[in-house]
């Protein structure tokens, strides 16, 4: 686990840091914003709302330490005054989004990351990139450790997201090495919780939405492919801890508890009490067969591991979706 030997330029953080969150009206960006406000930060959220929603942040209206700017970070980012942290979370992040928005996905991974890094460099701010377990592609190593380079199809339909994030990681490390910037990279594994969009194409809202409306739960393939589900508050805690660390290489944040998609569907049926059945359909191209984080690095460096068990987290998520249907 090699630490960077680059001389990192950091400035003292004030008692009330000013933090920019791109993608601040999204699922993760809004939860991150709440955590930062709870930690005493002033937060400036930036989002163009192509997948984010002001509903996720409307409860922050009137908070004098929060400001929202509607803007496309792939075009330009202008923030007056001091900035101490930049968290770059802007990107379509679900299959239905990046398959419908392939060019904006590539742009925000490349141009958006470039602009966000430029902002952090100009302000002397700490930069944290929200990367993804999709950097590992359809992995040939299990569980996935940060030193695994991945098995990604760059020209497949999922390549627009996978390669956008891989490029964003490369650019972040280039700014760290060349400019001596204080940068962090989090590789986010499957995360769930309130504020997910009901029809965003991911398995958690898809199964819950189908179960609550007594529809069949759609399983692609035979259901033996695995995922590891992390509750959103655990994920955000890991990300915040990483932002306060002095580590610059990627860190997996996710829950190593692995289950098959079929098992997950059966759990949703059990907890919701729905009469729904499982319905099997062909597996999409390049769909990962396994996904499980090795979180040794997060445990060792950050003292972090997930605390919310699956049953507790999924019940909270189901209750949220009951109010959305």
Q: Could you give the residue numbers annotated as active site?
A: 161
Closest CA to 93 of 44, 164, 147: 164
d(CA 249, CA 1): 9
Q: How far apart are CA 325 and CA 320, in angstroms?
A: 9
Which tokens go with 160?
A: 């627009």
DSSP designation for 245: S
- Residues 313, 268: Cα–Cα separation, whole Å: 12
Q: In this structure, are residues 117 and 181 in contact, taking their beta carbons and an 8 Å threshold?
A: yes
Residue 280 corresponds to which tokens in the numbers above?
């099997």
Alpha-carbon gap, residue 201 to 204, rounded angstroms:
9
- What number of CA atoms fall less than 13 Å from residue 169's CA on the CB side? 22
Of 318, 247, 325, 257, nearest to 293 by C-alpha is 257
């Amino acid at each position: 686990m090699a630490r960077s030997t680059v001389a990192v330029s950091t400035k003292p953080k004030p008692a009330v840091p000013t933090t920019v969150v791109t993608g601040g009206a999204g699922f993760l960006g809004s939860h991150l914003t709440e955590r930062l406000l709870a930690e005493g930060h002033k937060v400036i959220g930036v989002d163009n709302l192509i997948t984010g929603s002001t509903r996720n942040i409307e409860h922050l209206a009137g908070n004098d330490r929060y400001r929202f700017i509607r803007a496309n970070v792939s075009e330009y980012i202008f923030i007056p005054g001091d900035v101490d942290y930049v968290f770059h979370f802007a990107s379509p992040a679900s299959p239905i989004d990046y398959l419908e928005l392939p060019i904006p996905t590539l742009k925000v991974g490349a141009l958006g990351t470039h602009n966000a890094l430029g902002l952090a460099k100009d302000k002397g701010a700490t930069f944290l990139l929200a990367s993804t377990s999709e950097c590992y592609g359809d992995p040939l190593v299990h569980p996935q450790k940060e030193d695994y380079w991945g098995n990604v199809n760059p020209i497949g339909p999922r390549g627009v997201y996978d390669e956008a994030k891989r490029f964003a990681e490369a650019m972040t490390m280039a700014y760290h090495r060349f400019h001596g910037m204080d940068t962090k990279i989090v590789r986010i594994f499957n995360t769930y919780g309130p504020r997910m969009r009901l029809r965003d194409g991911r398995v958690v809202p898809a199964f819950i939405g189908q179960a609550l409306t007594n529809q069949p739960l759609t399983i692609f393939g035979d259901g033996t492919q695995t995922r590891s589900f992390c509750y959103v508050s655990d994920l955000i805690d890991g990300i915040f801890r990483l932002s306060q660390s002095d580590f610059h290489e990627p860190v997996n944040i996710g829950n190593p508890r692995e289950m098959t998609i079929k098992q997950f569907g059966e759990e949703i049926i059990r907890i919701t009490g729905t009469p729904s059945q499982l319905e099997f359909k062909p597996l999409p191209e390049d769909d990962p067969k396994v996904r499980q984080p090795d979180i040794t690095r997060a445990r060792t460096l950050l003292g972090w591991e997930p605390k919310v068990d699956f049953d507790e987290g999924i019940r909270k998520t189901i209750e949220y979706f009951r109010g959305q249907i």
